[in-house]
Structure 1
């Protein structure tokens, strides 16, 4: 092994380089720049933001589309973004009246309203259970977020700040244990409540029931009644632009169109942070990492996939149940049993007859996205990794299932297969939007089971992407965790910088 020695102080034109401009990479860059370091971000694409870009795809004049992420409960709840103060920077997070909806074939849809009591009242005999579980967790959402978005190596701070910490953590664990096991039906008696919780758990794109999807469902389900599931006004790009503006205000620089294939493509710096997949990190540092670490990075397993469809519509989606259209997100999969079967097919490498599909019309919360009477519709389906099939027809049929007449409103569409998702973002290998399998073990041991999952040996290089804890989601916490380690280990800066407006 030939390690890359860190450049001596003052060498080169920058102190730290970040490779990749997704939310994690930008969070790392902002943190380092605010600590007084000279920071440069290198981005292979011609636009900044990774999976949080909002672009005009040429489908209709004036209509923009979110390329990957569209709805952002984690951005509202994330400790990084709370400290960064998005509202103070002019980023408006519009919260829909209902967070998510689960339409069903043979009975009224189940709706997770932002208002907890309204949700519970609509769930009949399961309402009291919903209040006791997700309602309690929503009341203590800061602790729940700390449990979910920590580095998986330290005690969550909120756990120590309140006498309620241990009981709430125990409730969270009990919910995950129950919903992640074959006993998942026991606490809930109606199909509407079961399907409502399963639809949000399925964001993890994994077998149902299992522990990691259950944790996803409990976390996002509780946030639905805390801050809600907001949609950034103007699109996800608003989050990215706020971070870039702050980075540049503190002397940082973003260079687009600069692809990093090997370590030689990076200017001399004392620290380099990679907002990339684990495999890409191994390729960039080929033969310059400890041999065991390089092997483990290359063996890090990718998960199941999403295939994306962008629509332009002439009118709102004509949901059979009108309340479904008041939610910012719809989970289209039918009953709990139907969703579990579809996810099992995906895990087995088979295309489901009715793939679980997520849909969002951003104009529900942000009317500015409507232009000349036309509106964008965001959708993706869960499919096997690397599947080459254009998902447009499967997604259209799944929406039509719950919204008869939908086809008649389509003005334009663009389907992107799972195999092609990496064309606009190399980190989405085979359509894996989570940058790795979503299992409980892989959430802790991503990309490896080392005590410091961010540091790439003794090279001065670090991994700061969703391939490290806490994993997928637009929360920027992987970048923040990695940057604070870089400040401490590489620069001797023990105090994390202030991220707010006055900083």
Structure 2
């Protein structure tokens, strides 16, 4: 029996596309090269027996807030969320720290004279946060459903994160907190448009928190797969698709991978001009990641840092800005280290009394330079005695990330550079960038709008485009 749709890749966007198509009543099959679904959502015993580590993403505010995921009953398929006491902590020199709290005014209380500025900045956006996310997590150009909120967001988000911070904040606490959020973009903080993602991350902390799935990020992928199968879809693992001959007959094909893998799927059907554009697709910095098994919790100088599952280990705003100039440089002496300490809030991930610790730093795209000394030196700076608690560690380099998944080209886990052009022309400048020149073939990975993050909206929008183009379906129940 001919399928209606085949999905290449069972990452969050591939699974999201499959669920969207299955909800419309289509016969859907997902093909995945790995033995388990999830892509960057996989959880594994990377260090010692009994320790569960997230291979890729670790903290998931965009997943909880995603307009697609919020309407699906994923909780009925085993997904439950752990909310730490605070979304984010940022240790500072001198044994101090600043905390991004779930409550807007509680955050403001820790920012001194910048507290009122923080409230004025975020309160209007927070009042219509769901409408704002609906508008920004979809391709452009589109008529916004919430134009006033989107216009306010655009005016604030188009400048660089550093420019916006300089105009708004005066205290080292607010400046450091803002810079730590901005560094999630993986771009220099002086890059135009980085203010937008910084605003989104701060907004989500107050709207939905920065939670993570109980038991590991794999729970998100497993819930999506279970829901898909409940809807009648199927998943085949351990099957690598390299070209058209590897695909079963189907009316549409959606590819949840890199533009280069898409070219392989298209084969000689890809027009030369389209092929040339995809071959020039620009990627952002890579990552180097360490997973630790610890004999005890991280010994922070300021114990308040243990209130958050997410920690920005970077120091002052100036130090963050310096560390993020990595696109053509070596790993800095004091890198920005993004950390997650899950087991303070989810003890199921480690043996009793022991802990996991998940950290990464940005490195030049494709770099395999060993950053252990710099990263652990930065951790020890704010948590003296950390090294003595390390039972085991596993290092994952940028090239290893690409080997694991081609969508992580050079270790770029966002599917492409997050510049303004990189977001709007992703991978090509088009009102429907998911559509390829070959009828019935679509790209649905994070290399399409709205880009990186575990929100499933790239797959969801690609599936909606396929439903409209090939099946005449304009609405999905």
Q: TM-score band (shorter)? A: over 0.9
Residue 205 (1) aligns with residue 186 (2): yes
SS, match of residue 166 in structure 2: coil
Distance in 2 between residues matched to 1:204 and 1:243, nearest whole Å: 26
Q: For 1:236-266, what per-residue CA distance to the aligned partner results, in whole angstroms no more than 9, with x for missing partners?
A: 1111111101111122111111111111111
Return the alpha-carbon distance in structure 2 between the equivalents of residues 424 and 101 of structure 1. 30
Alignment of 1:408 with 2:388, yes or no, is: yes
Q: Distance in 2 between matches of 1:281 and 1:176?
A: 32
C-alpha spacing 1:153/1:171, structure 2 compared with 1 (3 Å): closer
Q: How does 1:17-166 map to 2 (within 5 A)?
A: 17-57=6-46, 59-106=47-94, 108-157=96-145, 159=146, 165-166=147-148
Contact 1:286 1:294 (C-alpha < 8 Å) held by counterparts: no
Which runs of structure 2 are paired with 1:383-422 in the superposition (5 Å)?
383-422=363-402
In structure 2, distance between residues paired with 1:258 and 1:411: 36
Question: Where does structure 2 lack aligned partners over 5 or more consecutive residues?
Answer: none
Q: Distance in 1 between matches of 2:371 and 2:242?
A: 31
Q: CA deviation at 1:132?
A: 0.8
Tell which deviates more after alignment, 449-458 or 346-355. Answer: 346-355
Partner of 2:273: 292
Are the counterparts in 2 of residues 96 and 114 from structure 1 also a CA contact under 8 Å? no
Indicate the residue corresponding to 1:339 in structure 2. 320
Once residues 397 and 420 of structure 1 are traced to their aligned partners in structure 2, the CA distance between those partners, rounded to angstroms, is: 23
**What does residue 15 of structure 1 align with?**
4
Contact 2:269–2:438, Cα closer than 8 Å, also in 1: no
Mapping of residues 374-453 of structure 1, within 5 Å: 374-453=354-433
Q: CA RMSD in A?
A: 1.6
Q: Tell me, what secondary structure is at the counterpart of 1:455?
A: coil
Match of residue 472 from structure 1? 452
Q: Which residue of 2 aligns with 1:252?
A: 233
Q: Which SS does the other structure have where 1:358 is aligned?
A: strand
Kept in 1: contact 2:95–2:301 (CA 8 A): no
Q: Secondary structure, in 3 states, of the residue corresponding to 1:294?
A: helix
- The alpha carbon displacement at 1:302 in A equals 0.9
Q: Distance in 2 between matches of 1:479 and 1:147?
A: 16
1:228 counterpart residue number: 209
Q: Give the superposition deviation at 1:183.
A: 5.6
Q: Structure 1, residues 182-233: CA drift from partner, whole Å, max 9, x if none?
A: 4631210111101101111111100112233221110011111111001111
Contact 2:39 / 2:405 at 8 angstroms: preserved in 1? yes
- Give the corresponding residue for 2:152: 171
Check the 8 A contact 2:332/2:374 in 1, yes or no: no
CA deviation map 1:440-495 (0-9, x unaligned): 11111100101210011133100000000000000000000000111111112222
Contact 1:231 1:366 in 2 (8 A): no
User: 1:269: how far off?
Assistant: 0.8
Contact 1:421 1:428 in 2 (8 A): yes
Taking structure 1 as the reference length, the TM-score comes to 0.92
Deviations 1:255-303 (A, max 9, x none): 1111111111111111000001112212322321222111111111111
Structure 2 Cα separation of the partners of residues 323 and 171 of structure 1:
34
Q: Say whether 1:241 aligns with 2:222.
A: yes
- SS of 1:211's equivalent in the other structure is coil
Residue 152 (structure 1) shift? 2.1
Structure 1 CA distance for aligned equivalents of residues 108 and 379 of structure 2 = 26
**Does the alignment pair 1:219 with 2:200?**
yes
Alignment partners' CA distance in 2, 1:364 and 1:53: 20
- Displacement of 1:336: 1.4
Task: Give the conservation status (yes or no) of the 8 Å contact 1:99–1:114.
Answer: yes
State the TM-score, normalized to the length of structure 2.
0.96
* Deviation by residue 1:296-340 (Cα, 9 ceiling, x = unmatched): 111111111111111001111111111111111111111111111
Task: Give the CA deviation at 1:376.
Answer: 1.4
SS in 2 for 1:245: helix
* Local SS of the residue matching 1:433: coil
CA contact (8 A) 2:324 2:362 kept: yes
CA distance in 2, matches of 1:152, 1:94: 33
Q: Please say which of residues 93-102 and 148-157 is displaced more in the overlay.
A: 148-157
| 1:360-385 deviation per Cα after TM superposition (whole angstroms, max 9, x unaligned) | 01123322223232221111111111
In structure 2, distance between residues paired with 1:336 and 1:265? 50
Q: 1:316 aligns with which of 284, 297, 320?
A: 297
In the TM superposition, residue 400 of structure 1 has moved relative to its aligned partner by 1.0
Q: SS of 1:238's equivalent?
A: helix
Structure 2: distance between partners of 1:144 and 1:323: 32
After superposition, the Cα gap between the structure-2 partners of 1:392 and 1:13, relative to the gap in structure 1 and judged at 3 Å, is: farther
Mapped contact 1:19–1:275 kept (Cα < 8 A): yes
